[in-house]
A and B are shown apart, each in its own frame.
Chain A
Amino acid sequence: MTETLALGAAEESKAPAKKRRSLGNWLLIAVPYAWLLFFFLVPFFIVFKISLSEVAVAIPPYLPTFDLSEGWAGLRENLSSFSFENYLFLFEDDLYWKSYLSSVWIAATSTLLTLLVGFPLAYGMARAPKAWQPTLLMLVILPFWTSFLIRVYAWIGILKNEGLLNQLLLWLGVIDQPLTILNTNAAVYVGIVYSYLPFLVLPLYATLEKLDESLLEAASDLGCPPWRAFWSITVPLSLPGVIAGCFLVFIPAVGEFVIPDLLGGSETLMIGKTLWAEFFNNRDWPVSSAVAVILLLILVVPIVLFQNQQQRAQEKDA
């Protein structure tokens, strides 16, 4: 009885605060929405519009193009000429769905590999002496200070047949023949794991660092040896960080173009590469736009999942 009364009172006190949302508040919210509108939604609609167009030998290389001077009649005629033909084409040619599937597969595998490398790294950082942690964090962020492209190029020097890795292995006597790593999917995995490692390590470190050490002591006190406490306490409690980190790797990796192009071989099929070829080699803007729209739809699913997970984590904190 008293509890319901108290709840009612709490709700009442909240209500006026909601009404008092001023102009300043609206402006504050409007800025990010305006950003999203101009830099995400508008470009998306341009791409979507192009994907419904027809390829043409013109500048820009598609038809129809909007011309404001033609007025409403011209606009209506343009709209009537739109078609989903390009999307149907994506299903007819198996190159596209194979590229999508292969991209998702490569991204998923690399995400798993990144997790395998990143978890011990983040765990070690979180368990390191407090005085070292800023330095270790700095070392993780440090590669960002060099251009991504240059760092990927550097891997060519490491992975090629007469590269540093093969020379080292030959010198150590581990192998007698240089290994062919460059221009294979293995090199793509190496590239993705290397490039996206900080995106996984940082959120994971943040979660692990917050983990109350007395929980592990409590587990130990209750008869749980350290390795078992790791699985029953550390892993479940770091799950939000693991999920956040994995999405931050998986989502950009699916659409990755530079790494498969520079490190991958001819058999490396990724949608980013296909898109590039369609756009620049074939100059088929409508089809490549359709590829991009479908890619976006494929990525929206994990992004929405990611958002949900973040929201749930936030609610839990509150």
Chain B
Amino acid sequence: MAKKPIGPVRRSFAPWENPDAKPFIEFRNVTKRFGDFTAVDNLSLKIYEREFFALLGGSGCGKTTMMRMLAGFEEPNEGEIFLDGQNLRGVPPYRRPANMMFQSYALFPHMTVEGNVAFGLKQDRLPKGEIEARVQEMLKLVKLEAFAKRKPHQLSGGQRQRVALARSLAKKPKVLLLDEPLGALDRKLREETQFELTDLQAELGMTFLIVTHDQEEAMTVADRIAVMDKGRIIQVATPAEIYEVPNSRFVADFIGSINMIEAKVATRNGEATHLRASGFDREIVVDQQTEASVGDTVWFAIRPEKVRLSFDAPADGCNAVQGEIWDIGYLGDVSIFHAKATEDVVLKSTVANVTRTVERPISWDDRVWLSWDRDAGVILTR
């Protein structure tokens, strides 16, 4: 593991580091099967109060099933789910203190915005005045006071999304479940809403659980992310840890872009590990201890933005390899260079376009040096 402490970036809040902290939501060895298909496979997970937690994974990885089990729409075949100390087994959805914002929003088309937001409160048979006050409060929170009398089909996608949010927050649930909440919004609106969601969560001090396949979304909003694949959790960590210290090739590959080099452990020398990759003149030195023995096959993973490009040979003491520029992608803010280092290895390097110069010093077919620091990449054993 890397030496540098990589903590939550947003605020100092890390109950998961405290072994005495009581989990607010706990999945204990939960398995859920649909016929032959195992959607969630013997999975355990702890989520803490006031946490913004993201379940991230591709389609069919079991993330939605996890959320639906928490909401009560599915019962696990094995294992238990606890919410605030209460075992949820056998508790129907309408008695669970969790509210969900549906991917489709599931707004009641025959009710006004007001009616939708009030629906949950009416189920509790609260006094009329109290319901009205709470509805107004919620509509103010999502800035939809002017649309109270409209029906859902008279609203834009973004407004509907906010009605759905207001409706699920109205009952002050112990946990708010967000199922791909921003999937139907266009990019600009989605980015804005991501920040609104984090602000809202901080303001309300509620526990939020979000399900998403969008890694950017998960990284923007969440305190911690669980990366899921085939019904299992591969890694649970803060966004920064997930990005900088992935624990497996799956996570490294799933989140962002990465260079992966297959190599063998050459020597293990105290703090550092030397790797030998075929076609590389020099050994790759990594400031990381590994459980792999000498001779084992491992993968060296490094993010493209941590690979430097230069015409001159870099100073000694850092990793370097020569390569030929193969492809250049101009994305506006950054450019991606693909350099062929060996017959099988093409390394990606992203360079921020800090100036507006049109002519780039490095061009196609140039021979360049690719270099990186000893602590820039990680060794992955699985």
A-B pairs under 8 A by CB, number: 62
A217 touching B106, Cβ below 8 Å: yes
Q: Is B353 an interface residue (CB 8 A)?
A: no
- Tally chain A residues at the interface, Cβ within 8 Å: 19
- The stretch that binds A, out of B36-44, B91-99, B278-286, is B91-99
State the Cβ distance, A7 to closest chain B Cβ, in Å.
15
Docked Cα-Cα span, A228 to B168, in Å, equals 19
When the two chains form the complex, which single residue of B100, B104, B109 contacts A221, counting CB atoms closer than 8 Å?
B100
The answer to whether residues A222 and B120 also contact, given A212-B106, A215-B106, A233-B108 and a CB cut-off of 8 A, is yes
Q: Is A309 an interface residue (CB 8 A)?
A: no
**Interface membership of chain A positions 293-318, coded 1 if the CB is closer than 8 angstroms to chain B and 0 otherwise:** 00000000000000000000000100
B94 touching A237, Cβ below 8 Å: no
Which residues of A from 198 to 218 have beta carbons under 8 Å from B? 212, 214-215, 217-218
A218 touching B92, Cβ below 8 Å: no
- Sort chain B's interface into a size bin: 20 to 34
B106 touching A220, Cβ below 8 Å: no
**Interface membership of chain B positions 286-303, coded 1 if the CB is closer than 8 angstroms to chain A and 0 otherwise:** 000000000000000000
Which residues of A from 217 to 234 have beta carbons under 8 Å from B? 217-226, 228, 232-233
Docked Cα-Cα span, A221 to B164, in Å, equals 12
A223 touching B123, Cβ below 8 Å: yes
A222 touching B99, Cβ below 8 Å: yes
When the two chains form the complex, which single residue of A212, A223, A232, A316 contacts B94, counting CB atoms closer than 8 Å?
A223
B102 touching A225, Cβ below 8 Å: no
Q: Is A236 an interface residue (CB 8 A)?
A: yes
Task: Enumerate chain A residues within 8 angstroms of B171, measured Cβ to Cβ.
Answer: 222-223
Task: Enumerate chain B residues within 8 angstroms of A221, measured Cβ to Cβ.
Answer: 71-72, 93-94, 96, 98-100, 168
Which residues of A from 80 to 116 have beta carbons under 8 Å from B? none
Docked Cα-Cα span, A212 to B100, in Å, equals 16
State the Cβ distance, A225 to closest chain B Cβ, in Å.
5
Task: Enumerate chain B residues within 8 angstroms of A237, measured Cβ to Cβ.
Answer: 109-110
Docked Cα-Cα span, A226 to B110, in Å, equals 18
B94 touching A218, Cβ below 8 Å: no
**Interface membership of chain A positions 226-251, coded 1 if the CB is closer than 8 angstroms to chain B and 0 otherwise:** 10100011001100000000000000
Of the A-B pairs whose beta carbons lie under 8 Å apart in the complex, a sample of 20, sorted by A's number, is A214-B102, A217-B71, A217-B73, A217-B93, A218-B102, A220-B94, A221-B93, A221-B98, A221-B99, A221-B168, A222-B119, A222-B171, A223-B120, A223-B124, A224-B119, A224-B120, A224-B123, A232-B119, A233-B108, A236-B110
- B residues whose Cβ falls under 8 Å from a Cβ of A: 71-73, 92-96, 98-100, 102, 104, 106-110, 119-120, 123-124, 153, 167-168, 171
